[in-house]
Amino acid sequence: MKYLSDYRDGKIARSLVAAIHEAATRRWVLMEVCGGQTHTIVKQGIDELLGRVVELVHGPGCPVCVTPLEQIDRALMLASRREVIFTSFGDMLRVPGSYSDLFRIRAQGGDVRIVYSPLDALEIARRNPGREVVFFAVGFETTAPANAMAVWRARELEVGNFTLLVSHVTVPPAMVAILEAPQNRVQAFLAAGHVCTVTGWTEYEPLAEEHGTPIIVTGFEPVDILEGILMAIRQLEGGRHEVQNQYVRSVKRDGNRPAQDAIAKVFKLVDRSWRGIGPIPEGGLGLREEFADYDAERKFGLQSVAAAESELCRAGDVLRGNLKPFECAAFGRECQPENPLGAPMVSSEGACAAYYRYGLHRKSGGTGG
């Protein structure tokens, strides 16, 4: 891999900005499908640099943000049970459910623990045979291999007190849902590079062909994103709609086959609700029947849980790309990182958090820091 500084080089970035302006004969609408890309775009002001020729729409690229409200409430129910040790990555603790969050449940005495791997959670289960250990399995296809490995290993070791609360989502069906929405304006996608490191990009090819939409697999540094935008603009201007790979240092067309095999052995495609988008056919992963004993929803009888979103929060519109965060009336006022109304304000990859962190809350006249 080349030095990371090459992908942050100001001279290269300026030349790409100039090339984008030269290539575009009109203003095009592009959507990035990764929260990491969103933060780079907002932090570096890429959207403002290109505003005359490109509108960058922030899509549902944060798996924490699209975890449905009812799934957060299931997590809160489990974490409140005396017999449960609830484990999760740290970015889920502040995500608001309909009545609380995991951080508050822990403050109230719930045994909520931050782990850095699902295998850490499995080890906690082995060391605490008298407790039920639940791991909150959230993420795109990127985190699915490790979660599959944990379940597979739990079965090998005959650990019966370990389960997953599964909230895995799959990216291509969400892109289809966005393209088929009546209000859609997206003309090209910057696809999430880390997801494609696992999946490759073959499943994006029929999507690009059917919907006439260029898809550029893109990295996360400023030069990555600018080059991805340039590739998309050249396709749009030339009337083409192909899948291209900008993130060549990490992504291959067929992806990571061993990781894909691990996912396929443990998980299957299921219909999944995305926060802000709604139910998406085959929009997520669920455990296969042979691993049903490791499904926390089944084990604890939590299949039927209903939840209502805040009436003030416009996170759904933000996640669908229909609204910029500062256009929400609650942004920077009722909704701030210390008191978030929706996941995009508290997640480290959320669009609202990016706009707030880098000072763009001032566009709304908000009072936040």
Residue 305 gets the label, from left (phi > 0), alpha (psi -120 to 50) or beta, of beta
pLDDT of residue 61: 85
pLDDT digits (tens, 9 = 90+) for 84-135: 999 999 989 999 888 899 999 999 999 999 999 999 999 999 999 999 999 9
pLDDT of residue 360: 63
Question: Of 37, 70, 23, whose CA–CA distance to 306 is shortest?
Answer: 70
Can you read off the two tokens belonging to residue 46?
């890429």
Contact 191, 201 (CB under 8 A): yes
Backbone angles phi, psi at 55, to 5 degrees: -100, 120
The pLDDT of residue 262 is above 90? yes
Domains and CATH numbers, the chain: 1-311 (3.40.50.11740), 315-361 (no CATH)
Sequence length of the chain is 369
Reported as a pLDDT band with limits 50, 70 and 90, residue 214 is very high
> Which element (helix H / strand E) includes 190?
strand 188-192
Which comes out higher in pLDDT, residue 114 or 69?
114
Sign of the Cα torsion 49, 52, 53, 56 reads positive
pLDDT digits (tens, 9 = 90+) for 140-160: 999 999 999 999 999 999 999
pLDDT digits (tens, 9 = 90+) for 166-208: 999 999 999 999 999 998 999 999 999 999 999 999 999 999 9
The pLDDT of residue 304 is above 80? no
Question: Of 260, 44, 72, whose CA–CA distance to 170 is shortest?
Answer: 260
